[in-house]
Structures are given as C-alpha cells and as structure tokens.
Structure 1
Amino acid sequence: MQSWGVRSRFTHRDTMQEPTKSGVVGVLGAALGIGRTDKPEIKQLADLHMAVRVEREGIVERDYQVSTDVPTTKGTGHRNVVSHRYYLADALFLVLLQGERALLERVAEAVQHPRWPLFFGRKAHVPASPLILAPERGFGTGLRPEGSLEQALQEHPWQEERPELIKDIESDPWLRTVTDVEAHEPEREARYDVPVTFESGNRKFQQRYVRVGRVPVPQSDAQPERESPCT
C-alpha cells in the first residue's frame, strides 16, 4: 500500500497514481536522517532529476474514517468528523534519479541502511521488499555508470515477477512513464510537488514540469518471446 498525496487538505487526503517528487524526497530524507526543516539538504535531494516507470498500475482505494468527539472550532461542544483517505494498493514502480555520483552513492547506501524507518506516504505503508534489489536478481546495484534517464527507462529489466501478469503482457506491451522536463519542453504537465520544507504545519512546495509517456516492456528471460510493439 502506498499514498502519494499532492492536494491533501483537512478531511480529504488524495493520492497520485505514481510516486511524487515530495514523496520520494521524503523517503530519501528519512533514509539519510535529514530533518524536516533542513532546507539545504532537502533542496539537494529535490534537485535530482527523477523519472518513474509504472511496472504495475495500482488500484486506487478509499479509506472512509469517522473521528468522534472532535472539539468544534468555537470550543462550545464536540462533533463527528468524516474523512476520506485514498491510497494505492498493489502498485509497483521503478524510480530513477540522476545527479552527481557522490550524492547518488550516498543515497544508495542510505536506502539500503536507513537511519529512520521508511514508508510510502503514511507510516503504515512500509515497503514490501528492499528498495534497491540484490544484484543476483538481475537488477544491478542501483547505480548506472552512464546513460540518460530515457535510456534507463527503456533498458532497465521489468520488475514484475507474477507469472500471470508476465503472461498477459502481449495484450498491453507498454509501461507508463513520468519524467522531469524543462519548462519550455512540449507536452509538459505542471506538478506542484517539489518540497522546500516538511515543517509540521508549514510545509512548502514548488512547481516542476513532467512529461507523461510510455516505453515498451523490456524483454527478459522470464517473459515469453514476442514481437516488438510498433512505435
């Protein structure tokens, strides 16, 4: 389970259908032990270029909650408060980061040996597997010596391991991608999810631009032979 909110307010807590920049920076910050108000360290992580490949689209679920005996704003009594909290169930993502190698090495080490507990948007939503998979599983060490985000999106092995989903890939041989781009690039979308500070009660965010696309599912030994999809 995961939750990647961008417009959460009061009794309505939303989620995007893929990891946000603020959510990823939050995970990395926890791994590194960075404080919520440490703006220079947060900015260094937020400045990393990010791309996401959706390995398995999740299911958006709603958690309906009722809190009782909540004091009124005037302090004259109590009331019940209904809240709607959305989250993703059964989703799987490949998150790619590009930047200075020294920082990426520091991040990779921290993710594998985090200082603070890691979770996806809510404390109950903990990772179901290591965030950097072991080399013997064919996914590498988490660091690429060279190449662009676009190359990695196309070449990195597909992480899906469920036989029934691998078998059904012929029906839809594409994976959705969301990649950081410059403000002047075509087909861009604005996302207001770049963190400035995570200070409780005073969180601040800035805008970034992304391009939503798709890439063919990379062929691997675990998948049946197939023809390359037309581009």
Structure 2
Amino acid sequence: MQYLVFRLYGSMASWGEAAVGGDRPSALTPTRSAVLGLLGAALGIKREDTSRLEMLRNSMGVAIKAYSCGGLTRDYHTAQVPSQDRKRSFHTRKDELSIAKEKLNTVLSSRDYRSDGYWIVAVWQQQESELTLDALNRALAKPAFIPYLGRKACPLAAPVAPLLVESDLKSALDQRFPPVLDSHEQDRRWLGLGSMVTYLWQGKAEDLGSFDGVQSCQVWDEPISRMPWQFGSRQEHQLTLVEE
C-alpha cells in the first residue's frame, strides 16, 4: 500500500470540534476535515469549488500518530462581524468592516488551542481520482495557498517534509522525520515528546495490525458541505502504545 506521510508541528494549533454558543473547543489531534482542508489549500482548491473538495474527501483516507497533543491554551476572544448581507461579497477583512461599519456586531467567544503539539499524518487513496498522492506530495512541497494548523493564526513551525512510502499503515506512521531542533534528543526534551504515542485511523480496526486495546468510536469530522458548515459522522479507531 502506498501512503503519503508528513508531519504537523506548530507553537499553536486548533482542531475544531462541535461548538456550542461562544465556546470553540479544540480536539487533541488533527481532525479529518482539518487534514483535508490543509491538503486542499496546498492544492490550491478554493472554498467555493465544491466538486473538487468532494473529490478530495471521497478519494483520501486519513490516519494520525500523535507524539504530543500539546498543552491547552485558552483565549478570550472578541470579534466584530457585520450583519449578514448575501448581496455583497468582500475581498478582504478591511473591506468587510469599512463598508459595513454601521451594521457591526460584537461577538464574544472562548477559543481553545493546542500548544507545541506534534503529529504524523498518513493519507492514502481510497478510490481512483485525478487527485493522486503524487500530486499531493508536490503540492505539500510547494503549496498554492499557505497551510496552517486549523486557524490562520496557527502557522506551521517546521516543514511538513512529505514522503511517499510503500508499507503497511503502522510502518508508514512510524517513519522517522528530521528533528525540529538540533537533534531528536532535543525534540524529546524540549517539545515534550514522550514514549507514549496514540494512533488514530479510519477503515477497519485491524488495518493497523493485530493489537489488543483498540478502541472504536464515532466522531463528527467528515465534511459534508462547506457553506452551512455541515459535518457527518464516521468510525475512528484508536490505539495507545509505549514506544521503546
């Protein structure tokens, strides 16, 4: 099986979960929708290009290996938003606020972030598509749009270092990447990368291998429609191991 493997590390990340009221929580690991969004940005797919977004969603499977989920950082956030006007479109945030300044509303929210998280991502093709792993590999090496970790305020702090490998799923996720700092020992010390790692994957529970302790659950991160922000459920499998 061929996989495209890359890493995600940043001083701040925010992996959206179901939001109630003004609270905006973050998952511990990158969600499937966040990974697909990052790949779409690298490919240069615009948000209104629903056909290509659906093609990307249908053709790619996603798995995660979490070395560190990072520490929780919470931000009390205020934002000004204009009253909704479907007849107008704005090219910049400045235009939006200046044109609609007489109709501005203030929104208060609490937003969660993960600080110094380190994750490995593996994607594979579930069906034939023009969006191949080779195309994704080239796009991640030279992205069309700037990729970020869930929010535009959360830039990458290290190259994603994409790599095409042919192996089983666990071996793909266990790929060794160049250190973020001067050495892997410094990464373990300063980034808080312990010996306990967590694997999360879609598909079948046995796709990672024969292990005891695999847990399965329903998660709501399957993107359905971008405009009304609709997400569907999918089954995800999880396994925590101690690496030697």
Same topology, TM > 0.5? yes
Deviation at 1:15, TM superposition (A): 0.7
Asked if 1:56 corresponds to 2:68, the answer is yes
Contact 1:2–1:125, Cα closer than 8 Å, also in 2: yes
Distance 2:239 2:178 in 1: 19
Give the match for residue 240 of structure 2: 214
What whole-Å deviation, never above 9, does each CA across 1:94-140 have from its counterpart, x for those lacking one? 011111697111011011111111111211111112112xxxxxxxx
* Structure-2 residue corresponding to 1:147: 167
So what's the TM-score if we normalise by structure 1?
0.73
**Cα distance in 1, alignment partners of residues 22 and 64 from structure 2:** 28
Higher strand share goes to which structure?
2
1:118 and 2:147 matched: yes
Structure with bigger RCO (C-alpha 8 Å, 6+ apart)? 2
Determine if contact 1:28/1:107 at 8 Å carries over to the other structure. yes
Letter in structure 2 aligned against 1:103: T
TM-score, length basis structure 2: 0.69
In the other structure, the counterpart of 2:110 is 84
Contact 2:188 2:194 in 1 (8 A): no
* Alpha-carbon contact 2:215-2:239 (below 8 Å) kept: no
Aligned residue pair count: 200
Q: Deviations over 1:49-104 (max 9, x none)?
A: 21111122301111012457998xxxxx9986431011111111101111169711
Match in the other structure for 1:27: 38
SS at match of 1:207: strand
Q: Of 156, 162, 171, which residue of structure 1 is paired with 2:175?
A: 156
Q: Which runs of 5+ in 2 are unaligned?
A: 1-11, 84-102, 208-213
Instruction: Supply the AA of the counterpart residue of 2:232.
Output: Q
Alpha-carbon distance in structure 2 between the residues aligned to 1:114 and 1:9: 33
Secondary structure, in 3 states, of the residue corresponding to 2:135?
Answer: helix
The percentage of counterpart residues that share the same residue type is: 26
Could you tell me which runs of 5 or more consecutive residues in structure 1 were left unpaired when the two chains were aligned: 72-76, 133-140, 218-227
Superposed CA RMSD: 3.3
Change (3 A) 1:15 1:69: closer
